[in-house]
Amino acid sequence: MWIKAFIFQSRLLITLAICFLTAACATPEATWKTVPETNMPYERAWAITVNSIAQHFDLESSDAQSGYLRTSWKVTNSFLGIPNRKARALVRVEERKPFRLKVKVEKQEPNPWDDTQWRVTGDDDQMASEILEELSGRLRSAK
């Protein structure tokens, strides 16, 4: 009887360990979020977009012709001055007329087992909300 219980508990522990390791290794992707469209001329809407993003991040790559923008990573430190997360924004134009774009704000956190490595942890929801709200407002008010 105790052998069956031992085998059951061993299998349960192995299954739980596999589930934990699989979940810990999964890398969630940040998701693209749509900014409401506007009928503003492309050049003006693109300039507003670049200026809005540049208020939050340093620009790494910006190409008006292809409608793509990427920022450099912005590191946030804990109250002890230790880096505890970093984020960057990516923007792509979906359509020029009407002007419609998507924004993605990726987040990374230090790897708990090796603090010299960073791991993707998905969306930076707070920063994405701020950027989307600001972009929507600026594009709407500048018509």
Q: Which amino acid is at 76?
A: T
| 4-13, 54-63, 68-77, 82-91: least confidently modelled range | 4-13
Q: Is residue 59 part of a domain?
A: yes
| 11-15, 61-65, 129-133: least confidently modelled range | 11-15
Q: Is residue 87 part of a domain?
A: yes
Q: Which domain holds residue 67?
A: 28-141
Backbone φ and ψ of 70, nearest 5°: -135, 140
User: pTM score, two decimals?
Assistant: 0.76
- Give percent of the chain with pLDDT exceeding 70: 83
pLDDT at 40 over 70: yes
Q: Is residue 70 part of a domain?
A: yes
User: What is the domain-level CATH number for residue 116?
Assistant: 3.30.530.50
Q: Is residue 10 part of a domain?
A: no
**How many Cα atoms are found within 13 Å in the side-chain-facing hemisphere of 114?**
4
For the chain, the domain total comes to 1
How far apart CA 13 and CA 44 sit, in angstroms, is 59
